[in-house]
Structure 1
Amino acid sequence: MFVSHTRESSSAKPKGGVQKGVLVTGGAGFIGSHMIITLVEKFPQWQIINLDKLDSCSSLKNLSSVDQRPNYKFIQGDICNPYLINTLFERENIDIVFHFAAQTHVDHSFRWPAEFKRVNVDGTRVLLKAACEAGVEKFIYASTDEVYGESIDKECDEFCPRQPSNPYAASKAAAESIVLSYWKKYKLPVIVTRSNNVYGPHQYLEKVIPKFISLLLLNKKCPIQGSGLQSRHFLHTDDAIEAFLTVMEKGVPGEIYNMGSNFELSIIQLARELIKMMKSTSAEEDFNNWLDFVEDRPHNDLRYPMNSDKLQGLGWKPCVTWPEGIRKTVEWYRAHPNHWSVIEGSTQL
C-alpha cells in the first residue's frame, strides 16, 4: 500500500529556484530525521521525501519541526516492497537518494539474521533497481565501520578488505557489494559511506549512549557487556550530517568514503563519564554502584579505527568536540524524557 502524508499533490515541487527531489529512506529514524531537517531548511526549493516503515526505532516526533513545511512529504512504507518502491519512483521526480533504512541492532542480528538480510540486502537491491530505472543523479548508501571487522593496531582506509564479524555487519557489507555493482554494470552514480558510531538527540534508546542516559535518568544501572573494554569512535550527528552533505555535493560516483572521528572511548569509560556528569560523583565506589556487568554478545569486536583523510580531502572534518556533543545530548534527553519509551535488554555498541 502506498501511503502518503502531505499537503501537496504527489508530483508537486516547490516553485522557484533550482528544484530537486530527494528521497531519504529511514527518514523518521535517528540520522535520517536529522538529514531531512537539514535538507528541508537548507534547500527550501527542493522536495524532500521521507520513506519510513515506522518501526520501533523510528518516530515522526523526530520531524515535528518540519512536518508542516511545503517542501516535506512523508510516505509510510517498506523498502522491501517492490510495488511501493516502483510506484514511488514513477510518481515522484527523485534526483538524489539517501539510503539510511536498515536493521542495525547487532545483538538482534545474531538472533534474527534472516530479517537483517531481508531488510539490509534485499531492501537495498529493490531500491537500487528502481533508482537505476529512474535515472537518479546520485545514490548515497549509509554503511558502517563494522564492515571492516576488528582492527587492533591499524586504521582502516577505504582500500582495506571487508571482514565483518557479526550478521549485521555482514548484511551491510553484502549490501555495499550490490550498491557498487550498480556502478560497475549500469554506471548508476552510487557512493558508499562508512561511519563511526553516531550519537546525538533523537537516537533510539537501544543504542549505548541514549540507553545509558535514559537508565541513569531513571536511577538505574548501566549494563556493561563483558569487560566493557571494547572501545568505539563517536561522531556527533551534526558532523555526520555535514559529512553526508559534503558527499552529496562533492563526492565522486563509485567511491567509498569513511566518516570517522578521532575521539575513542571504551564502553566502561563512557559509562563512567555519564555517571560523573549525571550523578555528580567521582568516587570509585559510587561509579561501581551504577554499573551492571552482563553477559557479552557471541562476538564483540574490540575497536574499529578508521582513516577519513579521503573525505577530509573534500573539505569535511569533525567540528563538534566530545565535551560539547555529549553535554548537548544529555541536555536533550533530560528535556525530552517521554520522547521514547524506556527499553530493557541488551545494549548496541
Structure 2
Amino acid sequence: MHVLLTGASGAVGRFVLKRLLDDGYKVTVLGRRPVESFETGFCAYDLADRDPQLPPADALVHCALVHAPGKFRGGEGDDPERFTRLNVDGTRRLFEAAGKAGCRAIVFLSSRAVYGDHRRGETLTEADVPTPDTLYGEVKLAGEQALEALCGQDITGIVLRATGVYGLSPGLADHKWSGLFQEFAAGVPIGPRKATEVHGEDLAAAVALVLEKRGALGAAFQVYNVSDLLLDRRELLSLYAGEVGLSLNAPEASGKIPGEMTTDRLRALGWAPGGRERLKAFVQSLARLNEAGN
C-alpha cells in the first residue's frame, strides 16, 4: 500500500512515518524536503500550493499544519488571515488532489481543540457538536468539514482528534517537555497545570490501525478521539525528579480539570495505548540519556 504523508518532518509526523515504514507501507513524503535517515519517496509540496500535483497512491495521511514554531493554539501569531488561508484552503486543495491521485482513504490529524477549551471537566465524545473557541480549533474543524464533503463511495475519510502528544520523536533531540524539565531542574517556579496526553507511538498506532481497518469501518466518514492520560504536572515532575535524582518539590496539583475525550470507538477497533507504564518508561529513558551525556 502506497501512502502519502504530510508533516513527516514534524514531532508528530515522525512518529507516524516510522510506524508506517515499520508496518511495511511504501511512503512518499509530501513536503519542502525529504526527512533525513528515513527511506521514503519524496514529492515537493507546500500547503500554499495552488494546484498540488501528487503522485498516484492509495492513501493520504495529513499531519501538516502551518503555525508559529512551537505553538498550535495561538499558532497564528500576528497573521491570523494567513494561518487560516493556508491551513483551511491548503488542506481542502490537498484533499481534492489526493482524490485525483487515486487515494481512496484519507486520514486527517485533527485536534481535541474542536470541542473547545471551555468544556472543563466534561466528557467529550465524537457525537458532540464541535464548539471550538480558538482559531486553531476552528481551522481543524474546517479541515474535518472539507474531508467530509469529499467522502462517498470512492473515498473514506477518517478524522483523528488527538490530544497533546508527548514522547521523543525519532531523529529529534528535544521533546515537548524539554523546556519544562530544564526549568524545573534549575529551580524555576512551575505553575500548576493538568492536561490530557497521548504518546506519539500510540497516536501513530491509531493511524496505522484505521488504515488497516479502513474497509470495515462502515460509514464513509469516521471520527475517532485519540487520548490516553489525564496528567497533572505535579505527577509528571515528581516522576521526573525521582528518576533523575532531583531533590525538588513539584508544584501543587491543579484544581482545573480539562475536558476528557472518550476513546471507546477507537479501542473497539483494537487500539490499546500504553497508559502510565509508557509514561514512566519515557521518563526513565530520559534519565538514561542524561546519565549517558554526563
TM class by shorter-chain length? 0.7 to 0.9
Number of the residue aligned with 1:15: none
Q: Considering only aligned residues, what root-mean-square deviation do their CA atoms show, in Å?
A: 3.1
Correspondence 1:100 to 2:63:
yes
Deviation of 1:239 after TM superposition, in Å, equals 1.2
1:178 aligned partner: 146
Which of 244, 249, 255 is the aligned partner of 2:207?
244
TM-score normalised by L of structure 1: 0.70
Quote the Cα distance in structure 2 between the aligned partners of 1:313 and 1:272: 33
SS at 1:81 equivalent: coil
Change over 3 Å in CA distance of 1:166–1:274 after alignment to 2: farther
Q: Quote the residue 1:38 is aligned against.
A: 19
1:272-311 equivalences under 5 Å are 272-278=238-244, 280-282=246-248, 284=249, 287=250, 303-311=258-266
**Any stretches of 5+ residues in structure 2 without a counterpart?**
none
- 1:12 aligns with none
- Equivalenced residues, count: 279
Match of 1:324 in 2: 281
Distance 1:39 1:169, change over 3 A: same
Residue identity in the other structure for 1:159: A
Query: Cα distance 1:232–1:239, how it changes in 2: closer, same or farther (>3 A)?
Result: same
| Equivalences for residues 1-349 of structure 1 within 5 A | 20-43=1-24, 46-53=25-32, 60=35, 63-64=36-37, 66=38, 69=39, 72-83=40-51, 85-86=52-53, 89=54, 92-102=55-65, 103=67, 105-109=72-76, 111-150=78-117, 151-183=119-151, 187-202=154-169, 208-215=176-183, 219=186, 221=188, 224=191, 228-229=192-193, 231-251=194-214, 252=217, 253-261=220-228, 263-267=229-233, 269-278=235-244, 280-282=246-248, 284=249, 287=250, 303-320=258-275, 321=277, 322-329=279-286, 331=288
One-letter code of the match for 2:48?
Answer: C
- 1:183 maps to a residue whose letter is C
In 2, distance between residues paired with 1:327 and 1:165?
36
Structure 1: tracts of 5 or more residues without a match: 1-19, 292-300, 338-349
Which aligned runs of 4 or more in structure 1 are off by greater than 6 angstroms?
203-207, 333-337
What percent identity do the matched residue pairs reach? 22
| Deviation, structure 1 residue 187 | 5.0
Structure 2 length-normalised TM: 0.82
Distance 1:304 1:260, change over 3 A: same
